[in-house]
Structure 1
Amino acid sequence: MNQEIKGLFARPMTEPDFVAAPASPPPRSARRRLSFVMIAGVLAIVGALAAGYYFAMRPVNLRIAVGPANSDDLKMVQALAQAFNQGNSQIRLRLTQTDGAVASAEALADGKADLAIIRGDLDVPKNAQAVATLRKNVVVIWVPPQGKARGGKAAPKITKIAQLAGHRVGVIGRTPANVNLLKVVLQQYGVDPAKVEVIQFPANETAEAIKKEKADAYLAAGPVNSKITTDAIAASNRDGGTPTFLAIDAAEAIAQNHPAYEASEIPAGSLGGADRPEDEVKTISFSHHIVARRGISESTIALFTRQLFSIRQSLKNDFPPAARIETPDTDKDATIPVHPGAAAFVDGDEKTFLDRYSDYIWWGLMLASAMGSAGAWFAGYLKKDERSINTSQRDRLLDMLAAARHSDSMEELDQMQAEADNILRDALTCFEHGGIEQGTLTAFNIALEQFHNAVTDRKLLLISMPQNLQRASAQFRAAGTA
């Protein structure tokens, strides 16, 4: 009988008695760390998108150099700046007042200004590119009505530019550019500039100088309907006589030799009266340009040019000189090369938002993809502990399965079953966190089912055994392990 009991309940002596050990729950902080990482990643992406949008849509401030004080150019730019700085304009203007076109060109060349108003017949900075033509100026040379010379004799009448030798020519404005302009005209007609006495005076002293006959002829440069020019011509009237306008018949030759000038005409009656002049007068013209510093982005200048011509339409009603603004010359042989942004506006080739920022969007997507891969790796790294504990719990479950088949104690089986329930709970938690896959969870369920079947079978066996056999088996086991 003892041999039968020994055969029924004997176990290998090397197998230790089962000791129930509580399963270690997976670290609850892993899910929290993963949540923090995901939130931080989302916030970083949102922040990058917001920063990119702000960078793309923020107003751009451009410094524009213009002068001198109280000039038509300064008044024009002030009106433009006021219009630009209203509303939600993407381009804003900041004025940098200078002593004149030469100083404005120097400010642009030195990088102290982004835009400048310059004269086309002066030295153009190498880093200047045309954006728009602010206005065109015509050269007007006239002789006041003939007065009396000394001794009561009539003064020689001047009807041609070639007759200016030996006479005084008054140049309106203090800028040396107008004096150089006069010299260009004189040289074209073979007149030695040294034989002409040049007298300069500011615009506000023109009427007084003409009344005092400080010069025999006068030169003014400005728009056809310039108030400075028309007032000076009106001051030249004497005793009902009208001034004589000197035609620059060699205008085309001058334009050929000096590309900054163009052959032009003064329309009849455009200088303050029907007889000023009576007929069309040939002359030369030059332009005042809005130029941009080379290196300013194409998109910025395209936006500026679009805003400029949009504002021109609404501004010309209140500020008529704005109507003179014209698009730049986009020809390759233009005197001042056009800025690519202005050329894109004129030619209708402006880049769209996607054209301008497609590279940034592509790199942003690449960065987001890289961040996603890094986040997935980091998430997997954070779940490493859960997977490791899950593996140890699976091994523990298999050990419990083997132990349940040889257990002789109902209490021990109940304790193992309770531990298996905890292992199941932790496995489900790991599955929810993504620590284990569906296949691993299925394997867990199979192992648990086998374990519960083994516990059920063992309990049925123990219940069917008489109490004396159970006690004898326990005593035998105790003696075998002693």
Structure 2
Amino acid sequence: MSRRIALAGFLAIVVAAVAAAWIWFPWVFSANYTIRVATGPLGGDAHKFVAAFKRELSEQRPRVRLLLEETANLQESGEALENGKVDLAVVRSDHPAAANGGTILIIRPVSVLIMVDAQSSVKSVSELSGKKLALLEGTPANDPLLRTVIDAYGLRASDLVSTPLADVGAALQAKRVAAVLAMGSTGPGPVADAVKAIVRATRKPPTFLDIDEAKAITARSPVYEETEIPAGGFLATPAVPDDSVSTVSVSVRLVARNSMLDYVAGEMTRLLMVTRAKLAATVPGVGGMSAPDTDKKQGVLPVHPGTAAYLDGTQESLFDQAMTQLFNFSIIGGILGSLGVWLSSQWRRHRPDETQRKLQRLPAMLVEAKTVPADRLDDLEEELDALSAWFLERFAREQIDPDRIGGLSTTISEVRQAIRRRRTRP
């Protein structure tokens, strides 16, 4: 019986180890390991970035396949991640998916920029209250970060005038608008194009206004960050802006589901950081790509544990993880096996099984051998022979402990002697 229990325990551990490998290391059983990524709209910066990384990944990790899922916007990408339709998604930091998942990489910051004509008397954003403002075409008027900024200064959404890129310079020069609002990153992009359009129209670079409420905004909404745009961030010659500018930004992030394995998340982070230079050559917007701050992994925007382990230099190898899981399962299996043996012994001890019933029959037969009529002694002896054969067979199968067989033999001998004495009695 003990051998069967040990074998059953060993098989249970093997099955559990295979099941764990299937859950934690599925690529072991598959020719390819597929990761679904929500990228945003086709042709967008996020889609270009992920597509470029997909090409690099196919060269270095042929078994890992990125399956790109196009979405209408980053809002839909975040929803797809939260609904479990994808494993990775490019989302903004102000979407709930960024707080509910784990950040793998910060692709770029997107800042709110406010520009006025170089000759304008406006020196602060608060002076723009009640004035018409050009909103660079392509920037949604209901953007959460933009609305947060204009609400902080008491500006009215009705004063925002959607203006094509080609017309922003002329609108500013003709004073049809007091300022231009745009959202973007440093380097090539919509803000740099707007700066060039203003320079062509006014012959002078625009003046950028500091968002003095940036600290208060980020304190109320920790998903945003206070950012400083360096001098020359949008145009090198002449330097535009000519001095650093304080503003507030939202970060575009590559976020993974929390269920993604730590090893996979860490390896994705490693490959992204290694191939950053190549990606920047083909996708200019990738120049602002950076690793997340692991000191903030317990904040509102957590870093994926696998990414944090890689960045902190504590990432375990695949072999180490497998050995750790095997060690855990061996401990759990040993505990479960011991518990199973104890339960089995308790069950056998308290269950009135066939062996127990036959054992209880022997004392009764000893009493009957002394009291039954003489004509029933033959039947009693035949029953005793059958019981002796039954106990001997169970002993040979190791279903009766050797310690008990000695007591059985003594009891059976006493019953036989009692029958013999009855027969020889006058």
Q: Give yes or no for TM over 0.5.
A: yes
Q: What is the match of residue 236 of structure 1?
A: 198
Structure 1 residue 72: Cα displacement: 1.7
Q: What is the match of residue 100 of structure 1?
A: 73
Q: For the Cα contact (< 8 Å) 1:263–1:283, is it kept in 2?
A: yes
| Matched residue SS, 1:133 | strand
Q: What is the match of residue 342 of structure 1?
A: 307
Q: 1:157 & 1:53 partners in 2: Cα distance? A: 64
- Cα distance, 1:348–1:239 mapped onto 2, change above 3 Å: closer
| Matched residue SS, 1:92 | strand
Q: For the Cα contact (< 8 Å) 1:162–1:186, is it kept in 2?
A: no
Q: How does 1:48-447 map to 2 (within 5 A)?
A: 55=28, 58-124=31-97, 127-144=100-117, 157-172=121-136, 174=138, 176=140, 179-189=143-153, 191-194=154-157, 196-200=158-162, 205-211=164-170, 215-237=177-199, 238-272=201-235, 273-330=237-294, 331-358=296-323
Percent identity between matched residues is 31
Q: 2:151 & 2:55 partners in 1: Cα distance? A: 43
Q: 1:54 & 1:276 partners in 2: Cα distance? A: 50
- Cα distance, 1:227–1:112 mapped onto 2, change above 3 Å: same
- Cα distance, 1:181–1:162 mapped onto 2, change above 3 Å: same
Give TM-score scaled by structure 2 length.
Answer: 0.63
* Equivalent residue letter for 2:274: S
Q: 2:239 & 2:95 partners in 1: Cα distance? A: 33
Q: For the Cα contact (< 8 Å) 1:118–1:291, is it kept in 2?
A: yes
Q: 2:142 & 2:26 partners in 1: Cα distance? A: 49
- Deviations 1:413-463 (Å, cap 9, x if unpaired)? xxxxxxxxxxxxxxxxxxxxxxxxxxxxxxxxxxxxxxxxxxxxxxxxxxx
Q: For the Cα contact (< 8 Å) 1:316–1:323, is it kept in 2?
A: yes
Q: For the Cα contact (< 8 Å) 2:101–2:257, is it kept in 1?
A: yes
Structure 1 residue 216: Cα displacement: 3.2
Q: 1:356 & 1:295 partners in 2: Cα distance? A: 16
* Equivalent residue letter for 1:136: P
Q: 2:88 & 2:183 partners in 1: Cα distance? A: 23
Structure 1 residue 229: Cα displacement: 1.0
* Equivalent residue letter for 1:107: A
Q: 1:288 & 1:54 partners in 2: Cα distance? A: 29
Q: For the Cα contact (< 8 Å) 1:171–1:178, is it kept in 2?
A: no
Q: 2:146 & 2:198 partners in 1: Cα distance? A: 20
| Matched residue SS, 2:122 | coil
Larger-gyration structure (1/2): 1
| Matched residue SS, 2:275 | helix
Q: For the Cα contact (< 8 Å) 2:169–2:202, is it kept in 1?
A: no
| Matched residue SS, 1:247 | coil
Runs of 5+ consecutive residues of structure 1 not aligned to the other structure: 1-47, 147-155, 367-482
Q: What is the match of residue 7 of structure 1?
A: none
Structure 1 residue 187: Cα displacement: 3.0
* Equivalent residue letter for 1:235: A
* Pairs aligned (count): 308
Aligned-CA RMSD value: 3.4
| Matched residue SS, 1:316 | helix
Q: 1:69 & 1:335 partners in 2: Cα distance? A: 30
* Equivalent residue letter for 2:129: A
Q: For the Cα contact (< 8 Å) 1:268–1:279, is it kept in 2?
A: yes
Q: For the Cα contact (< 8 Å) 2:99–2:301, is it kept in 1?
A: no
Structure 1 residue 118: Cα displacement: 0.8
Q: 2:26 & 2:80 partners in 1: Cα distance? A: 32
Structure 1 residue 265: Cα displacement: 1.7
- Cα distance, 1:53–1:287 mapped onto 2, change above 3 Å: closer
Structure 1 residue 157: Cα displacement: 3.9
Q: For the Cα contact (< 8 Å) 1:108–1:125, is it kept in 2?
A: no
- Cα distance, 1:242–1:305 mapped onto 2, change above 3 Å: closer
| Matched residue SS, 2:147 | helix
| Matched residue SS, 2:303 | coil
Q: For the Cα contact (< 8 Å) 1:91–1:303, is it kept in 2?
A: no
Q: For the Cα contact (< 8 Å) 2:229–2:245, is it kept in 1?
A: yes
Q: For the Cα contact (< 8 Å) 1:171–1:218, is it kept in 2?
A: yes
Q: 1:332 & 1:84 partners in 2: Cα distance? A: 26
Structure 1 residue 240: Cα displacement: 1.8
- Deviations 1:339-367 (Å, cap 9, x if unpaired)? 11111111112122322212665679x9x
Runs of 5+ consecutive residues of structure 2 not aligned to the other structure: 1-17, 334-426
Q: 2:78 & 2:218 partners in 1: Cα distance? A: 22
* Equivalent residue letter for 1:336: L
Structure 1 residue 259: Cα displacement: 0.9
Q: 1:56 & 1:360 partners in 2: Cα distance? A: 17
Q: 1:181 & 1:88 partners in 2: Cα distance? A: 37
Structure 1 residue 58: Cα displacement: 4.6
Structure 1 residue 198: Cα displacement: 1.8
Give TM-score scaled by structure 1 length.
Answer: 0.57
Q: For the Cα contact (< 8 Å) 1:183–1:193, is it kept in 2?
A: no
Structure 1 residue 222: Cα displacement: 1.8
Q: For the Cα contact (< 8 Å) 1:255–1:261, is it kept in 2?
A: yes
Q: 2:112 & 2:238 partners in 1: Cα distance? A: 19
| Matched residue SS, 1:99 | coil
- Deviations 1:290-314 (Å, cap 9, x if unpaired)? 1001212222212212222122244
| Matched residue SS, 2:183 | strand
* Equivalent residue letter for 1:256: A
